[in-house]
Every structure is written in structure tokens, then in C-alpha cells.
């Protein structure tokens, strides 16, 4: 997929990311400004590839995702592309052809890599050159976690406080090669999740008695994770990441109706990771708004973690990845 802005066509690839200190809750739903900052890692083996073609004859944008027309998603895609159309001063519609190399929307952050790749490709197709920060701000308005997939390695998303969302963007913390952690992802269900993160967050914020405590606990967790990453202190990162993940899910469990993203295999994997760590293996877990468990491994720990999680009943597939780069043109 060659890149050219003269032809109004460009393609980009972005890696999925998942958070070690989670984003859960919005300060401004319209601008998609998060209520809390977050810290994530970007992966190299799970990615979205997206091609954007300007189509002057089309009256509305079109999306083909994994070979299927997705008219149900086009409104959100168009809203994000509108931000770039406005910057470019044009009104041309686009055809977006996108492919994930991993299960879509099952808690594997397809929206993160999806919107990051879309923004990177569409920007170029429209002949724009944005700074990484501007890209992150546009991607955020597609999906909060997408703001982070603009960058590689360890990434921090700032919630920001400006009413227009102009200080709500992600920034790189540490490059992948500076601390080459690896991940194993235990896939325990393959369908699309029932409650997306957007409505899950709204429901948690409006009904969970633990939501306020969740938000209040975020600044110290971010500080602890930032310090652990700077010091390459795996044990400290493990402690804050697992605590933060369980706090997010505790807030979700306590929503009304409750949000239970886990299945039995998710819980079995969680115990397996805890047993491994108790036995001296440098690994910790995190879980997003879906039933997959992500195990983060220090260099050298992946083989035993992979073997252990594969043997957990209910694990359908095991994916592994190193940390990877930010969104790039192809
Ligand atoms: O960016 P969204 O709307 O897909 O929300 C992401 C929410 C979590 O994955 C649960 C947490 C996170 O920080 O990625």
C-alpha cells in the first residue's frame, strides 16, 4: 500500500495498546476528554492497517472493516475524519479500508489501533502534516485510548483541563527498546463484547458508588507507574498496575446494572498469573473492558507465562507480542 497525498490516498499501520493505569470515565463526552490520565504500552504484533482514499463522488464516507461494509460505525468515523477535513478546508468524502490482525472489539483495543491508523492515513490523504500531539488530540476524539496508539513503547495520556480539550493528549514516556517487556494475551472469548467502553464508562460514572473513589485514586497510581517505568522497577509496576486494574473493575462491578466483563477463564488466568509471580516469575496481569487477560512479562519470562496460560481451561488462543512503534505510514 503505497503512500501518496497527490492521489488522495494514504495507508498507515498502528499497534494496539493497553493500559497499565486505566482510562475509565469521561470528563467531557462530546469532546471525548477523559476524566483521568492513563499509562499504556503499545504492541507490535497486534495492529490495524488502514487505507484512506479520497472519493469526490461519494456523498458519505464508507468503511470496510475486515472485508465487511460497516455502515453502523460510519457516524463515529465521519466525526473523526471531519476534524481533519476542517483542518484541510475540504469537504471530500473518504473510503476507509481497514484490517485488524486480531479479534475486533473483544477487549483487545481495536478502537485504539483503528483510530490511530485512521488519523495517520487520513491526515496524509488530505495533504496535511500534523504534529504527533495534534494527531493524538484528533485520535482521542475517535477513541480515548487511540490517542495513546499514536506513540510507541510506554505512553502517558494526560486528561488535561482546558475546556476545548487542547491539553488532553498522549506523550511518549519510554521507548520500547529501553525496557523491552513482552506480553501474552489469553483470549477467552471471540465475539464482540456486549457493553462497549463508552456506555460502560457512562454507566459506571452515573451509578457506581465506587466511581468517585476510582477517579480520586488515579493521580497517585499514575505517579507510581511513571516512577516504576523510569526506574525499570518491574515489581513496583506490577503492584500498581494490578491494583489499578482491579479498582477499575470494582467500580464497573458496582455499577447498576452491573458491568461484569470477565468470564470464568479470565479469573482462572488471573490466579495463574498470581501463582507464577509468587513462584518468582516476573509477570503481572491487566484486564480491559472484555474477558481477555493480558499478562505483562519481564524479559525472559514470556515462555513460561505463555505455556502456563495456554493450559488454563477456557483459553481459546494465546497471542504474544513485544512492544512496538507508534502509528506509521506504510
Ligand atoms: O478508548 P476506549 O473508548 O476504547 O476506552 C478504553 C477503556 C479501557 O480499555 C478499559 C481502558 C484503557 O485505558 O484502555
Of ligand 1's atoms, which has the minimum distance to the CA of residue 17? Answer: 14
Separation of CA 155 and ligand 1 centre (Å): 14
Backbone angles phi, psi at 85, to 5 degrees: -55, -45
Helix or strand run (H / E) with residue 33: strand 33-34
At 267, list the grid cell. Answer: 479469573
Find the mean pLDDT for residues 259-276.
97
Ligand 1 pocket check for 204: Cβ under 6 Å: no
At 249, list the grid cell. Answer: 473493575
At 211, list the grid cell. Answer: 466511581
Reply yes or no on whether the pLDDT at 5 is more than 90. no
Q: Is 168 helix (H, G, I), strand (E, B) or coil?
A: coil
Ligand 1, pocket-test mutation among 41, 109, 169, 266, most atoms within 8 A of CB: 109
Separation of CA 253 and ligand 1 centre (Å): 16
Exposure string over 275-314, b if 16+ CB within 10 A, otherwise e: ebbeeebbbbbbbbbbbbbbbbbbeebbeebbebbeebeb
Reply yes or no on whether the pLDDT at 127 is more than 80. yes
Q: Where do we find the cell 480520586?
A: 216
Lowest mean pLDDT among 73-82, 106-115, 255-264, 301-310: 106-115
User: How many helices (H) and strands (E) would you count in the chain?
Assistant: 10, 14
At 161, list the grid cell. Answer: 483541563
Nearest to 211 by CA among 183, 252, 175, 265: 252
At 3, list the grid cell. Answer: 503512500
Residue 3, pLDDT score: 42
Helices (H), the chain: 74-88, 110-125, 132-142, 146-149, 197-207, 211-216, 218-230, 234-253, 264-278, 302-310
Paired strand residues for 297: 182, 283
Residue 103, pLDDT score: 66
Ligand 1 pocket check for 41: Cβ under 6 Å: no
pLDDT in tens, 226-254: 999 999 999 999 999 999 999 999 999 99
Ligand 1 pocket check for 76: Cβ under 6 Å: no
At 237, list the grid cell. Answer: 509496576
Residue 109, pLDDT score: 62
Ligand 1 pocket check for 144: Cβ under 6 Å: yes
Read off the DSSP letter of residue 30.
T
Reply yes or no on whether the pLDDT at 141 is more than 70. yes
Q: Report how far Cα 322 is from the mean position of its chain's Cα atoms.
A: 15
Within the chain, what is the greatest distance between any pair of CA atoms?
62
Distances from the Cα of 302 to the Cα of 21, 119, 267, angstroms:
21, 33, 20
Read off the DSSP letter of residue 209.
T
Nearest to 296 by CA among 249, 253, 244: 244
Of ligand 1's atoms, which has the minimum distance to the CA of residue 143? Answer: 1
Residue 1, pLDDT score: 36
Residue 4, pLDDT score: 45
Residue 104, pLDDT score: 59
pLDDT in tens, 34-70: 999 999 999 999 999 999 999 999 999 999 999 999 9
Q: Where do we find the cell 499497534?
A: 15
Residue 107, pLDDT score: 57
CA angle 204, 265, 241 (to 5 degrees): 55
Residues making up the chain, counted from first to last:
330
Reply yes or no on whether the pLDDT at 10 is more than 70. yes
Ligand 1 pocket check for 19: Cβ under 6 Å: yes
pTM of the predicted model, to two decimals? Answer: 0.96
Which is it for strands 62-65 and 94-100: parallel, antiparallel or unpaired? parallel
Separation of CA 270 and ligand 1 centre (Å): 19
At 167, list the grid cell. Answer: 491539553
Find the mean pLDDT for residues 256-274.
97
Residue 269, pLDDT score: 98
Q: pLDDT confidence of 194, banded at 50, 70, 90?
A: confident
Nearest to 301 by CA among 284, 287, 318, 317: 284
Q: pLDDT confidence of 167, banded at 50, 70, 90?
A: very high
Compute the distance between CA of residue 188 and CA of residue 276 in angstroms, rounded to an integer: 19
Amino acid at each position: 500500500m503505497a503512500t501518496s497525498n497527490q492521489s488522495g490516498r494514504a495507508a498507515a499501520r498502528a499497534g494496539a495498546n493497553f493500559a497499565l493505569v486505566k482510562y475509565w470515565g469521561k470528563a467531557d463526552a462530546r469532546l471525548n476528554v477523559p476524566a483521568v490520565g492513563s499509562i499504556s504500552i503499545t504492541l507490535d504484533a497486534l495492529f490495524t492497517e488502514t487505507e484512506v482514499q479520497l472519493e469526490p463522488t461519494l456523498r458519505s464516507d464508507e468503511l470496510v472493516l475486515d472485508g465487511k461494509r460497516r455502515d453502523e460505525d460510519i457516524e463515529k468515523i465521519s466525526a473523526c475524519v471531519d476534524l481533519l477535513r476542517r483542518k484541510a478546508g475540504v469537504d471530500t468524502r473518504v473510503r476507509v479500508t481497514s484490517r485488524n490482525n486480531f479479534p475486533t472489539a473483544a477487549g483487545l483495543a481495536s478502537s485504539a489501533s483503528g483510530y490511530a491508523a485512521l488519523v495517520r492515513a487520513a491526515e496524509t490523504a488530505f495533504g496535511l502534516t500534523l504534529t504527533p500531539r495534534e494527531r493524538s488530540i484528533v485520535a482521542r476524539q475517535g477513541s480515548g485510548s487511540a490517542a495513546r496508539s499514536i506513540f510507541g513503547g510506554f505512553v502517558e495520556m494526560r486528561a488535561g483541563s482546558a475546556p476545548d480539550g487542547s491539553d488532553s493528549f498522549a506523550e511518549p514516556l519510554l521507548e520500547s527498546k529501553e525496557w523491552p517487556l513482552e506480553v501474552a494475551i489469553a483470549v477467552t472469548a471471540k465475539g464482540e463484547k456486549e457493553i462497549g467502553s463508552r456506555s460502560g464508562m457512562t454507566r459506571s460514572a452515573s451509578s457506581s458508588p465506587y466511581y468517585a473513589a476510582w477517579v480520586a485514586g488515579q493521580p497517585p497510581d499514575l505517579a507510581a507507574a511513571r516512577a516504576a517505568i523510569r526506574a525499570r522497577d518491574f515489581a513496583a509496576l506490577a503492584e500498581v498496575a494490578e491494583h489499578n486494574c482491579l479498582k477499575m473493575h470494582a467500580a464497573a462491578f458496582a455499577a447498576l446494572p452491573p458491568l461484569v466483563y470477565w468470564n470464568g477463564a479470565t479469573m482462572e488466568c488471573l490466579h495463574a498469573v498470581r501463582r507464577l509471580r509468587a513462584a518468582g516469575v516476573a509477570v503481572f496481569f491487566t484486564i480491559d473492558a472484555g474477558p481477555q487477560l493480558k499478562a505483562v512479562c519481564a524479559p525472559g519470562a514470556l515462555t513460561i507465562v505463555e505455556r502456563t496460560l495456554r493450559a488454563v481451561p477456557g483459553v481459546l488462543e494465546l497471542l504474544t507480542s513485544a512492544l512496538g512503534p507508534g502509528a506509521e505510514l506504510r
